[in-house]
Amino acid sequence: MRTVKTLGLLGTGVIGGGWAARALHYGIDVIAADVKPEMEEWIRGAVDNAAPALDRLTFAPLPPKGKLTFTTDLHEMAAKADFIQENIPEIVELKQRVLADISRTAPADVIIASSTSGIMPTDLQRDMVAPERLLVGHPFNPVYLLPLCELVGGKQTSAATIEAARVFYTYIGMHALHVRHEVPGHLTDRLQEALWREILHMVNDGVATTGELDESIIYGPGLRWAAMGTNMIYHLAGGQPGMRHMLAQFGPCLKWPWTKLEAPELTEQLIDRMVEGTQAQAAGRSIRELERLRDDYLVAIQQVLRQYDIGAGSTLKAIETRLYEEAAKSVPAPVEGQPLRKDLVVRPEWVDYNGHMSDFRYPQVFGDAMDALYRKVGIDDTYRNSGHMYYTVESHLTYGAEAKAGEPLYILTRVIDADDKRLHVFHSLHRRRDDAMVATGEQMHIHVDTAAAKATAVDPAIRDRFAALAKSHAALPLPAAKGRSIGMKKG
């Protein structure tokens, strides 16, 4: 299978737009194909709407964004794509016909994945050329933020296809879950469907409104599900003995007539109740407004989970690790006599009530600059895991110009001095539009044996790299704020 540089979208819509936004964000070009020419404007709008949330998801350095093109010629897309993601309506006969058609154009080493939420891949393979390269790659809305992608092979799908798809989806920041047996609805939608049926029954029977039922999830199990699934939660519910005790204690409840497996008839009355309930919950907010609200909390949740390396946070942490490693490899060697540079943009959540970048964010961005410096000299996870790292022992900030939300900035970092245990660094933060000095940060770091919690000599190779940078930066004029102290002049 080939390296994926261009993703072809067969059909656009909500799911296609989500695929486009995710792939473009991680540097993959996208050719979107749809028989309706008006879908070009739609998909470009969907990508633009997703961008603010994606831009806030991680601080890791990203590759240049991919290029989006659109065509109404499905065969043009199939001939140019390295990987094809199908997103057309959930009609078996339609999918079979279109997939068979484009399989005659797409080279045999191009994987074709269907986003279908329930159709089995064996049925989709029926009339295809090279059916062994087809699988289901089922995402979840919004595709650009939710990392889960179910991989389901059909009877003719090769193991190489599953593995190559796993590699690609992981590359664009997804958690690729291999569903080992094809079943209607795959895994997740079968679980969601069971909950959905119970919701319809309780609304139909007048037990609760849509809002009350959503609250029963939002304030309870939904919070737990963000990091631990039902099985692990129930394992905890069993106390020290775990799942065995839980089943012994609560297993008999499964015989009680709490739930109804078959869905109720979708009468006009039930439809009206569902519509009225969800409209009341929306409280006049548009779909786009609600999408942005959803995106904001999904970003925040994943960032929190990343701190604990669990659930979707693990997926985010994994792609950040790759992005940092690739960025460190691609950064050109330091120019003699020039400070190191790091570009950034002020995020909306960094702004305080004055409309400017808040005070407590400055140590954060200077910390990011230090991380870039560490990676430059070879201090990475391997080094940290060996039990050694620099700790900040003194820091001094000065503030100059304003920086508002969306303001492009850059940090210049220079090494003032370095020896076996100490590292003296000076950062200056500037606006890109006029080079105005926004802030400076001067820091002293001590190299520490983290297990013993005491200062220790740095690895000689790391020391020599810092010393070389200090020598290179020595020709630069000393910053005016270097060594500055706080005080009020008298008289």
Q: What is the pLDDT along the chain (491 residues), one digit of tens a residue?
A: 789 999 999 999 999 999 999 999 999 999 999 999 999 999 999 999 999 899 889 888 889 999 999 999 999 999 999 999 999 999 999 999 999 999 999 999 999 999 999 999 999 999 999 999 999 999 999 999 999 999 999 999 999 999 999 999 999 999 999 999 999 999 999 999 999 999 999 999 999 999 999 999 998 899 888 888 888 887 877 778 888 877 787 777 777 777 777 888 888 998 888 888 888 888 888 888 888 888 888 988 998 999 899 999 999 999 998 888 887 776 666 677 889 998 888 888 888 888 899 998 999 999 999 998 998 898 988 899 999 999 999 999 999 999 998 889 999 999 999 999 999 999 999 999 999 999 999 999 999 999 999 999 999 999 999 999 999 999 898 888 888 888 777 75
SS3 call for 422: strand
Residues 174 and 252 in one domain: no
| Per-residue tokens: 338 | 């020039």
Q: 44 lies in a domain?
A: yes
C-alpha span between 362 and 396 (Å, rounded): 11
Residue 242 counted as domain residue: yes
Dihedral (CA of 140, 143, 147, 149) sign: positive
Q: Domain end: 151, 186, 221, which one? A: 186
Split into its structural domains, the chain has a count of 3
Same domain for 344 and 199: no
pLDDT at 236: 79
Task: Tell whether 243 and 365 lie within a shared domain.
Answer: no
CA 212 centroid distance within chain? 30
Q: Looking at the structure, do residues 119 and 205 belong to the same domain, yes or no?
A: no
In sequence order, what are the residues at sequence separation of 6 or more whose Cβ sits closer than 8 angstroms to the Cβ of residue 5? 28, 29, 82
Q: For helices 312-330 and 159-171, what crossing angle results, to 10°?
A: 80
Residue 11 neighbours by CB under 8 Å, 6+ apart? 33, 34, 86, 87, 88, 89
Assess contact for 100 and 126: CB atoms under 8 A.
yes
- As given in the structure block, the two tokens for residue 443 are 């820091």
- Which position has the token pair 């590359």? 171
DSSP for 14-48, please give it: HHHHHHHHHHHHTT-EEEEE-S-TTHHHHHHHHHH
* In-domain check, residue 462: yes
Q: Is residue 376 part of a domain?
A: yes
Same domain, 368 and 430: yes
Q: Which two tokens stand for residue 361?
A: 């964010």
Q: Give the burial class of 283: count Cβ atoms within 10 A of its Cβ; 0-12 exposed, 13-18 middle, 19 or more buried.
A: exposed
Are the C-beta atoms of residues 226 and 311 closer than 8 Å to each other?
A: yes
Q: How far is CA 489 from CA 281, 398, 440, 480, 485, in A?
A: 59, 17, 21, 18, 12
Which residue in the block uniquely carries the two structure tokens 């989500």? Answer: 18
Q: Do 212 and 175 have their domain in common? A: no
Classify burial at 284, counting beta carbons within 10 Å of its beta carbon; exposed 0-12, middle 13-18, buried 19 or more.
Answer: exposed
Look at residue 314 and tell me if it is in a domain.
Answer: no
Q: Are strands 29-33 and 68-71 parallel, antiparallel or unpaired?
A: parallel
Residues 127 and 240 in one domain: no
* Cβ-contact 81, 106 below 8 angstroms: yes
Cα–Cα distances in Å, from 134 out to 19, 72, 79?
Answer: 18, 22, 16
Q: What is the model's pLDDT at position 332?
A: 60
What is the token pair recorded at 77?
């897309």
Are both 101 and 50 inside the same structural domain?
Answer: yes
Model pLDDT, residue 233 = 80
> Which among 136, 154, 186 is the end of a domain?
186
Side-by-side strand order, sheet with 83-86: 68-71, 29-33, 6-10, 83-86, 111-114, 134-138, 148-153, 175-179
SS3 296: helix
Q: Is residue 491 situated within a structural domain? A: no
The reported pLDDT for the residue numbered 256 is 75
| Shared-domain flag, residues 258 and 399 | no
For residue 79, the enclosing domain spans 6-186
* Together in a domain, 80 and 131: yes
pTM for the full predicted model: 0.81
How far apart, in whole angstroms, are the C-alpha atoms of residue 246 and residue 341? 56
Q: Quick check: is 487 in a domain? A: no
